[in-house]
């Protein structure tokens, strides 16, 4: 018994269907550990809010440090002037 072209085409289609099903099963198995789109964006919103807060705090702290440095420099200059005058 020889196979006709239609038999070969039918086998090819069947193999394609089986491969597609197996591939989809494997893909679903691998993807089940990933978050959904909504979960991902929800989590990213939380992360971005935290990042924004940290950046704002850093800006405030940087300004405070600058103010403190200015005050320390003024005090050092004043104290240094007074000790020099006493010598």
pLDDT tens, position by position, 38-85? 999 999 999 999 999 999 999 999 989 999 999 999 898 888 866 555
- The model carries a pTM of 0.50
Q: Cα–Cα distance between 72 and 80 in angstroms, integer?
A: 12
Lowest-pLDDT choice from 4-18, 25-39, 70-84: 70-84
Report CA-CA distances (Å) from 81 to 31, 67, 68.
Answer: 71, 21, 20
Confidence band for 86, pLDDT divided at 50, 70 and 90: low
Residue 32, classed as helix, strand or coil, is coil
Which pLDDT belongs to residue 83? 58
């Amino acid at each position: 018994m020889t196979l006709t072209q239609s038999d070969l085409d039918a086998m090819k289609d069947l193999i394609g269907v089986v491969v597609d099903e197996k591939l989809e099963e494997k893909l679903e198995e691998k993807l089940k550990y990933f978050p959904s789109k909504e979960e991902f964006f929800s989590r990213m919103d939380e992360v971005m809010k935290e990042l924004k807060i940290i950046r704002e705090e850093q800006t405030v702290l940087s300004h405070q440090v600058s103010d403190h440095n200015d005050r320390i420099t003024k005090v050092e200059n004043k104290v240094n002037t007074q000790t020099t005058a006493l010598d």
